[in-house]
Structure 1
Amino acid sequence: MNLLSVEGISKSYGEKVIFEPLSFGINKGQKIALIAKNGSGKTSILKIISKEDTPDQGNVIFRKGTQTAYLAQEPNLDPKLTVEESILQADNPTLKIIANYERALENPDDQEGYQKAFEKMDQNQAWDFETQYKQILFKLKLDDLTASVGNLSGGQKKRVALCIALLKQPELIILDEPTNHLDLEMIEWLEEYFAKEKTTLLMVTHDRYFLERVCNEIIELDEGNLYTYKGNYSYYLEKRDARLAQDSVETHKTKLHFKKELEWMRKQPKARTTKSKSRIADFKAIKEKAHKRRNEHQVQLEINMERLGSKMIEMHKVGKSFGEKVILDQFDYVFQRNDRIGIIGENGTGKSTFLNLLTSNDTPDTGKIVWGETLKFGYYTQRGITIKKDQKVIDVIREFGDFIPLKKGKKISAQQLLERFLFGRKKQYDFVEKLSGGERKRLYLCTVLIQNPNFLILDEPTNDLDIITLNVLENFLLDFPGCLIVVSHDRYFMDKIVDHLFVFKGNGLIEDFPGNYSD
Structure 2
Amino acid sequence: MSTLIAAENLGHAYHDEWLFKNLTLGIQPGQRVALVGINGAGKSTLLKLLAERFEPLEGKIVKNKSVRIGFLDQDPQFNEAYSISDFIFSTENRQQQLIREYEELLEDPDPDQDKLNKLYEDLSEHNAWEFEHQIKTILSRMGIQHLQQKIGTLSGGQRKRLALAKLLIDDPDFLVLDEPTNHLDIDTIEWLEKLLTTGNKTLLLVTHDRYFLDNVCNSIVELDQGKMFSYQGNYAYFLERKAERSASEASSLQKNQNLLKKELEWMRRQPQARATKSQARIDAFYDLEEKTKQKSSNQSVTLNMKMSRQGGKILELDHIQKTFDSRAIIDDFSYVFKKGDRIGLAGKNGTGKSTLLNILTGVLAPDSGKVDIGETTVFGYYRQGGLAFNEKDRVIDVVKSTAEYIKMADGSTISASALLTLFLFPPKKQHGMVEKLSGGERKRLQLMRVLMQNPNFLILDEPTNDLDIDTLNVLEEFLENFPGILMLVSHDRYLLDKMSDQLFIMEGEGKVRVYNGNYSEYRLSLENAKVAKEKSKQVSSASNSTQKRTFKEQQALIQAEQNISEIEKKIADLTVELNNTDGTDFEKIQMLSDQLLQLQKELDHHTEVWIELSEK
Pairwise TM-score range, normalised by the shorter structure: 0.7 to 0.9
Q: Secondary structure at the match of 1:518?
A: helix
Q: Secondary structure at the match of 2:402?
A: coil
**Equivalent in the alignment of 1:289:** none
Say if 2:387 is the partner of 1:404: no
1:15–1:111 Cα change, 3 Å = closer
Q: Is the 8 A contact 2:95 2:123 kept in 1?
A: no
1:219 and 1:63 map into 2 onto residues whose CA distance is 22
Determine the structure 1 residue equivalent to 2:37. 36
Deviation at 1:2, TM superposition (A): 0.8
Contact 1:179–1:205 (CA<8 Å) still a contact in 2?
yes
CA RMSD of aligned residues (A): 2.5
Show structure 1 runs of 4+ deviating over 6 A. 252-257
SS in 2 for 1:109: helix
Confirm or deny: 8 A CA contact 1:301 1:479 kept in the other structure.
no
> Aligned partners of 1:120, 1:76: CA distance in 2, in Å?
36
Higher mean alpha-carbon deviation, 160-169 vs 415-424, is at 415-424
Q: Could you say which residue in structure 1 is the equivalent of 2:287?
A: none
Following superposition, the deviation at residue 253 of structure 1 comes to 8.2
The letter for the 1-side match of 2:454 is N
1:148-163 aligned within 5 A:
148-163=150-165
Q: Could you tell me which residue of structure 1 aligns to residue 284 of structure 2?
A: none
State the shift of 1:329 in Å.
1.4
Cα offsets for 1:259-314 (capped at 9, x unmatched): xxxxxxxxxxxxxxxxxxxxxxxxxxxxxxxxxxxxxxxxx987652111100001
- Note closer, same or farther for the CA distance 1:301–1:465 as it changes in structure 2 (3 Å cut): closer
Deviations 1:333-360 (CA, angstroms, capped at 9, x unpaired): 1111211111111111111111111111
Alpha-carbon distance between aligned partners in 1 of 2:480 and 2:91, rounded to the nearest angstrom: 45
Residue in structure 2 matched with residue 27 of structure 1 by the alignment: 28
CA distance in 2, matches of 1:158, 1:65: 27
Indicate which of 312, 330, 353 corresponds to 2:355: 353
* CA-CA distance at 1:411 after TM superposition: 5.4
Give 1:315-326 correspondences, 5 Å limit: 315-326=317-328
- SS of the counterpart of 1:196? coil
Aligned partner of 2:465 in structure 1 is 463
* Structure 2 unaligned blocks of 5 or more: 254-294, 522-616
Contact 1:422 1:469 in 2 (8 A): no
1:367 aligns with 369
1:294-443 superposed matches below 5 A: 304-388=306-390, 391-401=393-403, 402-407=405-410, 409-410=411-412, 414-443=416-445
Q: CA deviation at 1:32?
A: 0.6
Shift in Å, 1:91? 5.4
Q: Report the Cα distance in structure 1 between the residues aligned to 2:304 and 2:391, rounded to whole angstroms.
A: 36
Pair 1:328–1:252, CA change in 2 (3 A):
farther
Contact kept in structure 2, 1:44 and 1:53, CA below 8 Å: no
1:15–1:256 Cα change, 3 Å: closer
Partners in 1 of 2:91 and 2:370 — Cα distance? 50
Give the deviation of 1:442 after TM superposition: 0.5
What is the SS of the residue equivalent to 1:229?
A: strand
Partner of residue 117, structure 1: 122
Matched ranges for 1:447-462 at <5 A: 447-462=449-464
Unaligned runs of 5+ in 1: 258-299
CA distance in 2, matches of 1:154, 1:55: 29
Q: Is the 8 A contact 1:319 1:365 kept in 2?
A: yes
- In the alignment, which residue of structure 1 is the partner of 2:181? 179
User: Among 168, 172, 185, which residue is 1:166 paired with?
Assistant: 168
Shift of the alpha carbon at 1:82? Answer: 2.0
Identity rate of aligned residues, in percent? 45
306-315 or 339-348: which moved more?
339-348
Q: Distance in 2 between matches of 1:235 and 1:331?
A: 44
C-alpha deviations, 1:459-509, integer Å up to 9, x for none?
Answer: 111111111111121111112111111111111121222221111111110
C-alpha contact 2:344 2:496 (8 A) present in aligned 1: yes
Q: Distance in 2 between matches of 1:78 and 1:432?
A: 26
Amino acid corresponding to residue 195 of structure 2 in structure 1: Y
User: Structure 1 residue 10: deviation in Å?
Assistant: 1.7
1:332 Cα deviation after fit: 0.7
- What TM-score, normalized to structure 2? 0.72
Using the size of structure 1 for normalisation, the TM-score is 0.85
Contact 2:408 2:414 in 1 (8 A): yes
More helix by share: 2
Q: Kindly tell me: are residues 471 and 114 of structure 1, through their superposed partners in 2, closer, same or farther at Cα, counting changes over 3 Å?
A: closer
Which residue type is aligned with residue 83 of structure 1?
I
CA distance in 2, matches of 1:111, 1:310: 66
Secondary structure of 1:308's partner? coil
**Deviation at residue 107 of structure 1 after TM alignment:** 4.3
Higher RCO (Cα < 8 Å, 6 or more apart): 1
Supply the distance in 2 between the matched residues of 1:492 and 1:91 (Cα, whole angstroms): 42
Give the aligned residue type for 2:315. Answer: I
CA contact (8 A) 1:104 1:114 kept: no
Per-residue CA deviation, residues 374-404 of structure 1 (Å, 9 max, x unaligned), is: 1111111123233346543333223323223
Give the 3-state SS of the residue equivalent to 2:459 in structure 1.
Answer: strand
User: 2:347 is matched by which residue type in structure 1?
Assistant: G
SS of equivalent to 1:51: coil
C-alpha deviation, 1:139, in angstroms: 1.7
Structure with max Cα Rg: 2
Separation in 2, partners of 1:116, 1:388:
56
- Helix, strand or coil: the match of 1:202? strand
Is residue 2:246 matched to residue 1:249?
no
Contact preservation (8 Å) 1:12, 1:19: yes
- Letter paired with 2:381: Y
In the superposition, relative to structure 1, how do residues 171 and 358 fare at CA in structure 2: closer, same or farther (>3 Å)? same
